Structure 1
Amino acid sequence: MSPYRVFYRFEVWRLITTFFFLGNFSINFGIRLLMIARYGVQLENGPFQRRTADFLWMMLFGAFSILALSAIPFISSPLLGISLVFMLLYIWSREYPNANINIYGLVNLKAFYLPWAMLCLDAIFGSPIAPDLLGIIAGHLYYFLTVLHPLAGGKNILKTPILIHKIVARWRIGAPTNSAPQPDRTTGGVFRGRSYRVGG
Structure 2
Amino acid sequence: MGDLTSWFKSLPIFTRHWLGLTIFFSLLGRFAFLSFKQLALMYEPVVHGFQIWRPFTSVFYYPLTPSTGFHFLINCYFLYSYSLRLETGQFGNYPADYFFLLVFNWMCCVIIGLIAELPLLMDPMVMSVLYIWCQFNKDVIVSFWFGSRFKAMYLPWVLLAFNMIILGGGVMELIGILVGHLYFFLMHTYPQEMGGPRLLSTPSIL
| Cross-structure match for 2:142 | 101
Q: Matches of 2:154 and 2:72 in 1, distance apart?
A: 21
Deviation for aligned residue 1:59: 0.3
Tell me which of 86, 108, 113 is aligned to 1:65: 108
Tell me which of 110, 113, 119 is aligned to 2:154: 113
Are 1:89 and 2:97 matched, yes or no? Answer: no
Preserved CA contact (<8 Å) 1:82 1:135 = yes
Are 1:38 and 2:78 matched, yes or no? Answer: no
User: Cα RMSD between the aligned structures?
Assistant: 1.5
| Cross-structure match for 1:176 | none
Tell me which of 181, 198, 203 is aligned to 1:140: 181
Of 22-31 and 47-56, the range deviating more from structure 2: 22-31
Preserved CA contact (<8 Å) 2:75 2:126 = yes
Deviation for aligned residue 1:22: 3.7
Aligned length: 162
| Cross-structure match for 1:55 | 98
Q: Matches of 1:31 and 1:69 in 2, distance apart?
A: 23
Are 1:14 and 2:54 matched, yes or no? Answer: yes
Are 1:157 and 2:199 matched, yes or no? Answer: yes
1:117-196 alignment to 2 at 5 Å?
117-126=158-167, 128-150=169-191, 151-164=193-206
Deviation for aligned residue 1:117: 0.7
**Structure with the larger helix share:** 2
**Other structure's SS at 1:161 match:** coil
Q: Matches of 1:59 and 1:87 in 2, distance apart?
A: 9
Gap runs ≥5 in structure 1: 165-200
Deviation for aligned residue 1:127: 5.1
Q: Matches of 1:99 and 1:27 in 2, distance apart?
A: 26
Q: Matches of 2:153 and 2:61 in 1, distance apart?
A: 26
Q: Matches of 1:148 and 1:86 in 2, distance apart?
A: 19
Preserved CA contact (<8 Å) 1:22 1:82 = no
Gap runs ≥5 in structure 2: 1-40
Mark the CA change 1:141 to 1:31 in structure 2 (over 3 Å): closer, same or farther: same
Whose RCO is larger (CA < 8 A, sep 6+)?
A: 1
Tell me which of 22, 28, 44 is aligned to 1:4: 44
**Which letter does structure 2 place at the counterpart of 1:109?**
F
**Other structure's SS at 1:162 match:** coil
Preserved CA contact (<8 Å) 2:42 2:114 = no
Q: Matches of 2:190 and 2:124 in 1, distance apart?
A: 23
